[in-house]
Structure 1
C-alpha cells in the first residue's frame, strides 16, 4: 500500500505540473479565450482573410489545443480515482499530490489570480474525486472500472471548471481595460481590412455611395479605371487612422468580455463530457484490471 501511495502521489503531481506548464506553453488562458473568438470574427470581415471553412478548422484546432492541458489534469484525477478505489479512507494523498503539482506549476507559469484559483480548484477536484469514486464504482453493474472512474473524474472536473470560471472572471475584472483595448484593436483590424488595396474592382464599386456610383457609371472605361485608382487611394487615406468604435459597440465588447467566464465554463463542460471523462476512464481500466488479475482488492 505504501508503494502504491507513493506511485500515485508522484504520478498525479507530475501530470498536474505538466498540465500547468502546457497552459503556459500553449498560451491557454482567459486572455486567449476572450480575444481569439474576436480575432476569428475579424477574419470573416477581412476580404483577404481565410475562408469560412478555414476559419472553422482554425477554431476547432484552437479548441483541441486548449484541451491538451486538461487531458493531463484528467489523467491526474484518474490516478487519484484509482487510488480512491484501492485506499478509500486515505483522502489526503491524492489531494496533496495534485496540490503540490499545482504549486510547482504555478511557479513555472507565474503567480496570478488565475493560476492561484485554478491550483486551488485542481486540489479541490482531487479531493472530491477520491471521495466519490467508491460510490460511483458501486453503482455500476457493467464496465465498472471504466464507468466508475469516468463518472468520478467527471464530477471532479465540474468542480475544477467552476474554479476556472471564477478565475476567468477575476482576470477579466482585473484587466478589463487591457482586454477592451485588445478586443477593440482586433475589431478595427478586421474592419480596416475591408478597405485594403487588395479589393477587386467589383468590391470597390460595391462600397461606393449611391451618388458616387451614379457618377462612376456615367464614365468611360478608361475614366472608370482612373476613378477606381483614385477611390482606392481615398479609402486608404480615410482608414489610415483607426476609426473610433461607437459607444454601443464598446458596451457590447465589455458585456462580451464579462461573459467570457460563461463561455469558458460551457466550453470546458463540453470537453469534459465529450472527451476528458472518457480518456480518464480508459486510462484507469488497464490498471484496475491488472489488480483484479492478481487478486488484489478493489473497494466496491
Structure 2
C-alpha cells in the first residue's frame, strides 16, 4: 500500500511473530448471531470497505454502536477495528485481529448471493465513561496481518474509515429526546386532531398554575409574618423607651429636692443652738 500522507499515531502492537487473535479493548455485545446480523436487503453489488446503512450519527455513552461494511476479501482478512478522529489520527484499538465468519457471535459475515453483497458486521457498546470532551470520532479498519507503520508508512494496513459520528453526554440530549417523544405520542394519540393537541397544551398550562399560586401564597404568608414580627418589636422598643424616660425624670426630681431640704435643716439647727438673749428694760439714771 502506498503512503497515504496521514499522520501516524503510535499504538503498542503485539509481536509480529504471534498470530493475531481477537482482543476486546472495550466492551462488546455478547449476543446470539441472529440478534446481531443485519440484513443486506436493499444493498446490491457491495463494495469492499464501503460502509452501508450508516444513518445514525449521534450517540451517548452506553449506547450500542452497530457497523456494517462491504466484506474485505470476503472475510478472509482479519481486521483491527480502531477508534480515531478525522484526518487519520488513531486514539486506541477497539478490537485486534477480528476474524469475520458466518457463525461468529461478534464478527458476523452476512452473504447474499442474489444481491451480490457480502457484509462484515460488528456491534460495540460505547463505555459509560467514554470521553465526550471532543465528541467527533471515526472508526478505522486495518489489516491485522500486517504491522501498523511498516515500511515507513504511518498507517500501513489501513482499509477504510467510517463516516464521522458523535458521542455526547447523556444530559445534552435527554431533553431533546424527551421532547421528540412527547410530540410523537401527541401526534399518534390525536390522529391529526389539532383541537385535542391544543387542549393537552392548555391542560399543561393550567396544571402549572397551582404551583405558581402556591408560591405566591407562601410569599404573602411570609411577608405577613415578617410584618407582625416587626410591629411587635417596634411596640416593645417604644414601651421600653417610655419606661426608661419616666425612670430618668423621677430620678432627676429626687435629686432636685434633696439639697433644699438639707439646707433648711442646717439653718434651723443653727438657730436653735444660739444662746437666748436676756431682754432687760433700758436703765435711765435718775436725777438726784
Same fold (TM over 0.5): no
Structure number with greater Rg is: 2
TM-score, structure 1 normalization: 0.22
Higher helix residue share: 1
Q: Which has the higher contact order (CA 8 A, sep 6+)?
A: 1
Higher strand residue share: 2
